[in-house]
Amino acid sequence: MSKSNYTERKEHKTKASVRDLAKQELESLNRNLAEPLSVTKLSDFVDRVYLPFGKQQKRPSTYRGYAQMWSNYLKTRCQAEWLREIRTHHVQAWLEETGREHEISRTTLKHVRNFLSGIFRHAAQQGYFDGANPVKLAEIPAFATNGAETKPYSLEEIGAMPEGSF
């Protein structure tokens, strides 16, 4: 047994000595000084903080895309996760599950990954998350398709478009 373990055991032989130690450890919690990052679920943060921020600060089309990505691909998959406990392997699993379940393209998965990265960047800026952005090292799954090949419009198609639509 190391000397420090022996000292700790010797020092805390009674319930009273342990109560004092527990009192010191729990003092900040008892005074309600817990940081938001320690008590927030991802769903709560996105619904109460991030999406309202996006609605206020981003273009309407960007906000619509954020809200759709959240509701269509992510909310049911990761809503119960504690923000502080999310790691890269969780994000990687979400991307893989989303790609398989919805059969979406690499480009759409990149948008989902960028959306998640923005959530964690904003959470860190607002004091809800402490640490490296867990999305940074997540990769788009190799099985994701490249999507449909697009083709340019013909001159006839362009001529038939209403003015101002291009």
pLDDT of residue 6: 45
Query: Do 120 and 95 form a contact (C-beta atoms < 8 A)?
Result: no
Superfamily of domain 37-125: Tyrosine recombinase, N-terminal domain (1.10.150.130)
Report domain extents, the chain. Answer: 3-33, 37-125
Per-residue pLDDT of the chain in tens (166 residues, 90 and over written 9)? 445 444 455 666 777 777 877 777 777 556 555 565 568 999 999 999 999 999 999 999 999 999 999 999 999 999 899 999 999 999 999 999 999 999 899 999 999 999 999 999 999 999 999 899 999 999 999 887 876 566 777 788 878 888 765 5
Among 85, 93, 142, 140, CA closest to 114: 140
Q: How far apart are CA 122 and CA 136, in angstroms?
A: 14
pLDDT of residue 37: 54
Query: What one-character DSSP code corresponds to residue 144?
Result: -
Q: What token pair was written down for 118?
A: 């923005």
pLDDT of residue 13: 72
Q: What token pair was written down for 21?
A: 């130690």
Angle formed at CA 21 by CA 19 and CA 25, multiple of 5 degrees: 110
pTM above 0.75, yes or no: no
Amino acid identity at 97 = E
pLDDT of residue 4: 47
